[in-house]
Structure 1
Amino acid sequence: MKTSIALNQENLAIMPPNVSKPSYNRDKVKTSIVHIGVGNFHRSHEAYYTNELMERYGVLDCGICGVGLLDYDRRIYNILKDQDGLYTLVTKELDGSLSAKVIGSIVEFLFAPENPIAVIEKMANPDIKIISLTITEGGYNLNEATGEFDFSNPVIVEDMKNPMSPKTVFGYLAQAMKLRMQRGFPGCTIQSCDNIQGNGNVAKKSLLNYVEKAEPELVEWIEENVSFPNAMVDRITPVTVATDITKLQEEFLIDDQWPVVCEPFIQWVIEDKFAAGRPAWEKVGAQFVENVVPFENMKLRLLNAGHSVLGMLGALHGYNTIDEAARDEDFKVFLRAFMDEEASPTLGDLGGIDLEKYKDSLIERFQNIYIKDLISRICLESSAKFPIFLLPTVKAQLENGGNFGRAAFVVAAWCKYNDGVDENGNTYTIEDAISNELIRAAALSHQEPIRFLEIDTVFGNLKANKTFVDAFLKSLKMLRSKKVKACVQEMNGVLA
């Protein structure tokens, strides 16, 4: 058996010929992007697009400096430092074939807890044109019920008291923008790459809310010098598991401590509003548009909501991966009906987009048996996901007198999911920022079913809508009296 090769800059020259690797000179790459939150998705998406631009067009002024803000980020920091910023992107095709590409666009990495001043200075450097974010839906620190910035968050309180040793992205951004203003440097673009409706608007709102209290003299400067383009991002990127590392060693002879696996599909639609210029990502497949709303609505309410539908139903039934749930004929029929009858009518004019073809492709992508996207990943932090992915469809359909029965059923399934046990008696952990509140509300709902809808940070005033409450209560009663498959079969028959 051949020995695998440790991934680093020196060993690139001896990588096997079936591995795509950077041919550009990474020593000549100039950093102009700081990215906060170097997780798997960033590495399969923005870093991939940037690598392609470097590789195919020789554009070397768009290098990425990764930043880890949390103690949790220490592992990826250490690994990428050890591997000279290199990692392998493994694409899993629908036919099961694999391709391996070494990505070289991350040329620097800073670990904020070790040296917060270095991170602030890097973000303030005028060479940095874009600060991009993947900080998850919950990272924007907005109360779902009020839409306002949560100043009661202990880490926000700490950042206000200790501005030069921040813990949050807003603390870092505020100090970096303050230095730019004081030094007479130009502004930059803050680019959210998170799955949030109007993600640029959300990033702007959160930062300005924070700055209004923390550094009020900065507000006007940010409004005049910093842009926040909205964007829609899409590529299914599951958690890396041990077998992915082993497979990479066996098939490609690469010893990568944290490779990324992804599907072949990729999409990035961005409003062309950049304060200090941008890479020509359109050359490698990104789309720049005036209005991203139709694209993001389509993705959030079909793909992301579809994931939550399969995640909740699959979790209760005892499936482990999304492809298992998507290949279950009952769940597939339920999902397609949700897409067709409930989500699609809320999308409005999509221009030249072939919506039926898009939905067909989603089912196919969900069914990719080689991706093995864990249901546990899809279900974590659902309190941040449901208000963004599923509830906008409910609210739009309530307003228009349309169907929302399947969405209400999924909300009821989420309530039952928070009991922490599937129908086979297997227990699982509720991983959510408000897990205690969810578990308590689900427990109370056995006696008073409406208690789950009283989580205002998630549901707002939906508990006051009798039509929705009745549909939710009916679904929860059904789910608590028989198995989810039987319920779905009944829903497929009743609502067909």
Structure 2
Amino acid sequence: MTVKLSQAALKQMPQNVGVPRYDQANLKAGIVHFGIGNFHRAHQAVYLDELFNGGSDHEWAIVGAGVLPSDETMRQKLSDQDWLTTVVEQDSGHRITHITASMIDYLEPADTEATISRLADPTIRIVSMTITEGGYFIDPASGVFNPKHPAIVADAANIKSPKTVFGLILAGLMRRRDEGTEPFTVMSCDNIPGNGHVTSDAVSGLAALIDPGLAKWVKDNVAFPNSMVDRITPATTDRERQMLATDFGVEDNWPVFCEPFKQWVLEDHFPTGRPALEKVGVTFVKDVAPYELMKIRILNGGHAAIAYPAALMDIHFVHEAMEEPLIRDFLTKLERDEIIPVLPPVPGMPFDEYFDLIVRRFSNPKIGDTIQRLCQDGSNRQPKFILPTTADRLKAGKSITGLALVSALWCRFCAGTTDTGKPTNYLDASAERLKVEALKAKDDPKAFLAMSDIFGEVGTAPTFVETFTRHLRTLWDKGTRETLTLYLQGKL
């Protein structure tokens, strides 16, 4: 028999399920968060839950917000269970299940006025977001905000009823300015280099389309701290719902399964205050950049490296990919030979130890993270996680053999079939375009590299073009397995 998750059912939970040690009814909102997905609920919401369990900072509860149809779906699922979430942390020798109650409300995405009003509320002092790498309206190759995007242009023309996250944030800031309320801090929790700077560019860039003076006010008065966030968190399917019900007796509309490891490094720049997250393991620093670069290039770059060969070899789970010697050895050689050597040092964090930790995390058989999840949104992830390292090595005159192979594997994947002919179904805003160019590239590899908004100057660098071309032709002629073998033997 299972217990349906709700506030009233907390006292009925099985003994092996942790419940909040605080009363959700006594919490007060201090944060509005855009993008209530699995990662947020396994990361920021868990840190706050741990802080609240310690008996402090109960005025920093979360109010959810969003702009997409999927946000409304999540809102309805969580509303049905009083905004509670069951979090299952597990690896080979560790499994802990607990319920978080750090969110106390979720604004209807369709109710723009209600969202702006809540943003203008003086009790809201932080607005945070996990809207994915593709949600920032930036040019993939340059990383620069694109003020000509139709959604941004539309918000600039009607800022009183915006449709984007940045339009809502700006509308909330404008109302606070008009009412004499201090601006809230805007905190990105997405995997983007310099995510605070990128967010500042988006908000001030939108403001500049409305009034240059407004843009200057944003830059002079609003804080955008940089951050590095980390926790491997797969998507939820019926598999996870059934596991929770069978193994723990809890019925949750949208539980979160994740690894035990989590990390959060934050620039300590919160003019209107912040929760004491250092009490629960958050690292506050003056400069997040070295930590962020390490994580994005070693972990996220590592995910990108194993995703496409695994998909082409019809491997379903990430831990299964790590059990394949060709993929595991490819990742190790790529990281140690090309990625790690061009990273600046990080205080107290030897890269070899960090990479060993990443290998153990990728190899965790209990997570159920899928290769399909890692393959999605490549048009945004490649320019952020792989191509910057390629650019650094090209500038230094160093080999890019492995990195060019990652790009060639992505191109081969985008062509639409695995090595055995199965379809490579994936989610990407540019999926149709990628497939068209990838199929052209079978005969003319330069066709794929001609997507300058993705590859930038890397796509025209003679060394990269030649190496990519050679690798792509080998993949088509010999297949993924033989190509990886040649790379590991130094014959590619």
Q: Tell me the TM-score normalised to structure 1 length.
A: 0.97
Q: 2: distance between equivalents of 1:428 and 1:439?
A: 10
SS of residue in 1 equivalent to 2:146: coil
- How many residue pairs get aligned? The number is 492
The alignment status of 1:282 with 2:285, answered yes or no, reads no
Aligned partner of 2:87 among 77, 89, 98:
89
Question: C-alpha deviations, 1:189-230, integer Å up to 9, x for none?
Answer: 100000000010100011111110034332222222211111
Aligned partner of 2:8 among 7, 10, 13:
10
1:35 is matched with 33
Could you tell me whether the CA contact under 8 Å between 1:130 and 1:278 is conserved in 2? yes
2:317 is matched with 321
Q: Which runs of 5+ in 2 are unaligned?
A: none
1:26 deviates by: 1.2
Aligned partner of 1:136 among 129, 132, 138:
132
The alignment status of 1:75 with 2:70, answered yes or no, reads no
Instruction: Report the RMSD for the aligned CA atoms in angstroms.
Output: 1.3
The alignment status of 1:233 with 2:229, answered yes or no, reads yes
Q: Which runs of 4+ in 1 moved over 4 A?
A: none
SS of residue in 1 equivalent to 2:489: helix
SS of residue in 2 equivalent to 1:108: strand
Q: 2: distance between equivalents of 1:219 and 1:210?
A: 8
The alignment status of 1:466 with 2:469, answered yes or no, reads no
Q: Kindly provide the amino acid, as one letter, of the partner of residue 164 in structure 1.
A: K
1:124 is matched with 120
Could you tell me whether the CA contact under 8 Å between 1:24 and 1:58 is conserved in 2? no
2:99 is matched with 102
Q: What pairs with 1:81-480 in structure 2 (closer than 5 Å)?
A: 81-95=79-93, 97-113=94-110, 115-480=111-476
Question: C-alpha deviations, 1:271-298, integer Å up to 9, x for none?
Answer: 1111211111111011001111111111
SS of residue in 2 equivalent to 1:461: helix
Could you tell me whether the CA contact under 8 Å between 2:330 and 2:488 is conserved in 1? yes
Could you tell me whether the CA contact under 8 Å between 1:70 and 1:167 is conserved in 2? no
1:398 deviates by: 1.0
1:49 is matched with 47
2:17 is matched with 19
Most deviating of 42-51 and 206-215: 206-215
Question: C-alpha deviations, 1:330-358, integer Å up to 9, x for none?
Answer: 11111011111111111122222122111
Question: C-alpha deviations, 1:315-342, integer Å up to 9, x for none?
Answer: 1111111111111111111101111111
1:460 deviates by: 0.6
Could you tell me whether the CA contact under 8 Å between 1:269 and 1:287 is conserved in 2? yes
1:14 deviates by: 1.2
Q: 2: distance between equivalents of 1:422 and 1:306?
A: 20
Q: How has the CA–CA distance of structure 1 residues 335 and 145 changed in structure 2, closer, same or farther, with 3 Å as cutoff? A: closer
Could you tell me whether the CA contact under 8 Å between 1:327 and 1:367 is conserved in 2? yes
Q: Kindly provide the amino acid, as one letter, of the partner of residue 81 in structure 1.
A: S
Q: 1: distance between equivalents of 2:413 and 2:188?
A: 30
Q: 2: distance between equivalents of 1:388 and 1:145?
A: 8
Q: 1: distance between equivalents of 2:143 and 2:294?
A: 22
1:58 is matched with 56
Report percent identity of matched pairs.
Answer: 37
Q: 2: distance between equivalents of 1:265 and 1:446?
A: 41
Aligned partner of 2:490 among 476, 491, 494:
494
Could you tell me whether the CA contact under 8 Å between 2:38 and 2:256 is conserved in 1? yes
Q: Kindly provide the amino acid, as one letter, of the partner of residue 65 in structure 1.
A: V
Could you tell me whether the CA contact under 8 Å between 2:449 and 2:460 is conserved in 1? no
Question: C-alpha deviations, 1:90-129, integer Å up to 9, x for none?
Answer: 111223x42111000011111221x110000111111111
1:146 deviates by: 4.5
Q: 2: distance between equivalents of 1:25 and 1:372?
A: 32
SS of residue in 2 equivalent to 1:57: coil
1:244 deviates by: 1.0
